[in-house]
Structure 1
């Protein structure tokens, strides 16, 4: 494809060449007619004589030889380290005593997937998916989080004072449910992860999704004991909801809620130095509302989850 400033397209080149070769125009006259230099007119005429119409297409600008290209043996070593150890360009360059830019060019030329796109356990490219409609699949999980002692932990007081202020503050258990299509989240901070607690949480989560006009069809969880219980299975079966569990040691299968867990840690739990656990918990409802209604999501082209759930109440508050 010609570049944007090219004076001649393939059709124009053909017309110019035919004027010179078949109609006998002088090179200078043909060059003036098509507004190019005589040298250009001569080049396309010579191509037409040698190759015909096929010679009017662009040729590759790649050089015939590249004497300064990284040796093939070095490229193979770079690829071997990347595949076996899954390292980035900087670490590979340090190991092989190369320039990181050189390693990056080799990885790009060989079209190796970025580390962020690979499964950490297997090294295979992650297959990303998204359900077609809200409620088709809801991811459920529990995130265990240490409570903040009164007066603050090491983030507020510094590490020496934080260690001295250690107490048996216990743990909080964030029960989370995230819709696969919209990323709409329902979450509660509860005192444990027992089967009775998880089942009661799901009843409230389902009521939340129903109020938003979302009919839950399927639930995906990990292999936690509360999700393997008869009480949990019965609660889902009574509502006509199918239940599926992830493969053992494969948390990425439940990736939507795992990513939600990471987001809440970064943007709520550890975003500031809270002085008490009550202060942190008081900030959670506001953050969750902002997540559902206002926070742009990269997988949704910068729109919040509420943009995919028209019936969600409080969307513009």
Structure 2
């Protein structure tokens, strides 16, 4: 519990919440929220809580998530194919299963292989002699026609 909350609770025992809130520079609604939490739950009500919902009725069921993960890892299917396969079987899945794959930590290409190894090979740019290969980064800021202005 922070010292500010403790001070707020102590002051609100003998004085109106609106007056204490004005003195402390917070809104009356915020002060009322904290005082109400203290009255309902005691000091436990003043601890930080997660803002995540307690339940998510529209979340993907566990077995379905496991099946999508296995299709992604073992068969290396892209998200649209996984969605199409489930629609054909009568189990509709949201079009954007990429969000589910991101939650599972499978949203990167290197996680497609079952062993977790990357499927890309690093390549090196080599020049015949120093200064032969030059990289320019060009950004058009204004409306410059092709070929110059």
TM-score tier (shorter): 0.5 to 0.7
Alignment of 1:97-246 (within 5 A): 97=87, 98-101=93-96, 103-112=97-106, 114-115=108-109, 117-118=110-111, 120=113, 123-126=114-117
Aligned to 2:8: 16
Aligned to 1:181: none
Measured after TM superposition, the shift of residue 30 of structure 1 is 1.1
Aligned to 2:58: 68
Q: Is the 8 A contact 1:81 1:92 kept in 2?
A: yes
Q: How many residues align?
A: 130
Taking structure 1 as reference, are residues 84 and 40 closer, same or farther at Cα in structure 2, changes over 3 Å only?
Answer: same
Aligned to 1:29: 19
Larger radius of gyration: 1
Measured after TM superposition, the shift of residue 32 of structure 1 is 1.0
Q: Is the 8 A contact 2:76 2:112 kept in 1?
A: no
Structure 1 residues 170-229: Cα deviation after superposition (integer angstroms, max 9, x where no partner): xxxxxxxxxxxxxxxxxxxxxxxxxxxxxxxxxxxxxxxxxxxxxxxxxxxxxxxxxxxx
What is the CA RMSD across the aligned residues, in angstroms? 3.4
Q: Is the 8 A contact 1:44 1:56 kept in 2?
A: yes
TM superposition score normalised by structure 2: 0.65
Unpaired segments ≥5 residues, structure 2: 88-92, 137-149
Taking structure 1 as reference, are residues 70 and 57 closer, same or farther at Cα in structure 2, changes over 3 Å only?
Answer: same
SS of match in other structure, 1:83:
helix
Q: Is the 8 A contact 1:14 1:56 kept in 2?
A: no
CA distance in structure 1 between the partners assigned to 2:3 and 2:115 by the alignment: 46
CA distance in structure 2 between the partners assigned to 1:118 and 1:81 by the alignment: 13
CA distance in structure 1 between the partners assigned to 2:94 and 2:61 by the alignment: 14
SS of match in other structure, 1:100:
coil
Measured after TM superposition, the shift of residue 285 of structure 1 is 2.7
Structure 1 residues 27-55: Cα deviation after superposition (integer angstroms, max 9, x where no partner): 11112112333332122123234231x43
Q: Is the 8 A contact 2:73 2:112 kept in 1?
A: no
Taking structure 1 as reference, are residues 287 and 106 closer, same or farther at Cα in structure 2, changes over 3 Å only?
Answer: farther
Alignment of 1:35-54 (within 5 A): 35-49=25-39, 50-52=41-43, 54=44
Q: Is the 8 A contact 1:27 1:42 kept in 2?
A: yes
Aligned to 2:49: 59
Residue 68 (structure 2) aligned to one of 55, 78, 82: 78
Residue 87 (structure 1) aligned to one of 77, 82, 85: 77
CA distance in structure 1 between the partners assigned to 2:102 and 2:57 by the alignment: 19
Q: Is the 8 A contact 1:18 1:45 kept in 2?
A: no
Question: Which structure has the higher relative contact order (CA within 8 Å, separation 6+)?
Answer: 1
CA distance in structure 2 between the partners assigned to 1:118 and 1:77 by the alignment: 16
